[in-house]
Amino acid sequence: MTLPSYETLLSEIVGTHVLKVTLNHPPANALNTQMGRDLFDLWHRLTVDPEEVRCVVLTGSGDRIFCAGADLKERKGMSDETWVRQHEVFERAYWTLLDCPVPVIAALNGHAYAGGLELSLACDFAYAVPTARFALTEVTLGIMPGGGGTQTLPRIAGERRAKEVILSGRPFSAEDALAWGIVNRLCQPAELLPAALDVAGAIAGNAPLSVRQAKKSIHYGLQMDLAAGLRFEIEAYNRLVPTADRQEGIRAFNEKRTPDFKGR
């Protein structure tokens, strides 16, 4: 997949069908307006036509901070009108990530605060280094989470835990994040990207239409009651029956070989 040369992101295809994206706005990878525009463009392209990309690993540059949240230096002296217009850019970036059909794994190489944590919560799942710390600090600044945090965190960690985290604004540890389901695994720094890329490779090796339909069924099914979710699942399932990949998967199984999925 050919992507633009982003000002705040680095991207490269790693292995087969895996795109590694690195937040690259040192020293803290703070989310400024340009990063919001870059992220929106990236997720939009992957939504409209992912081409050969079947999984994404999102990480940060450096070895201390994944993303420190919004760039408060850029916001210094910003008018109310400009603030709202800027936040609209951020909203579109986060919402497009949440709706992206391609699985996105966060590889948290360091701290994730405020909008940085919300960015991770908008991914499908996350791995982190043990030294990482996390927080949604917005209420300490006179605002509140606006990148989906009041909606994604309760769905991941539960309502009472989300209220504790969001209303206190206090940081919590990587061990807490693991225990609360905010991250799936803790990895030593040298093992973080290999672990994330390994599972991304496994996902990318599966039938891409199947992966996208399953992701959609989980994501939207959680917003329905059980009966509606079950029916949504079957609609998603039935769309896979006439695909060439379904036929290839069964044929490869019976021929005792690795399937060659084409996304058709």
One DSSP character per residue, 114-147 reads: THHHHHHHTSSEEEE-TT-EEE--GGGGT----S
Report the alpha-carbon angle 126-51-15, nearest 5: 55
pTM of the predicted protein model: 0.95
* 230-241 confidence digits (pLDDT tens): 999 999 999 999
**Which of 118, 159, 191, 233 does the annotation list as catalytic?**
118
Given 138, 159, 191, 233, the catalytic residue: 138
pLDDT beyond 90 at 2: no
* Domains annotated on the chain, with CATH: 9-204 (3.90.226.10), 208-254 (1.10.12.10)
Note if 138 is an active site residue. Answer: yes
- Among residues 1, 17, 45, 14, which one has the least CA distance to residue 208? 17
Query: Can you give the length of the chain in residues?
Result: 264
Cα 77 to Cα 64, 108, 166, 199, distances in angstroms: 28, 31, 25, 44
Q: Nearest Cα to 21, choosing from 144, 140, 123, 168? A: 123
pLDDT tens-digit map of 50-94: 999 999 999 999 999 999 999 999 999 999 999 999 999 999 999
* Backbone angle region of 226, left / alpha / beta, with phi > 0 → left and psi within -120 to 50 → alpha: alpha
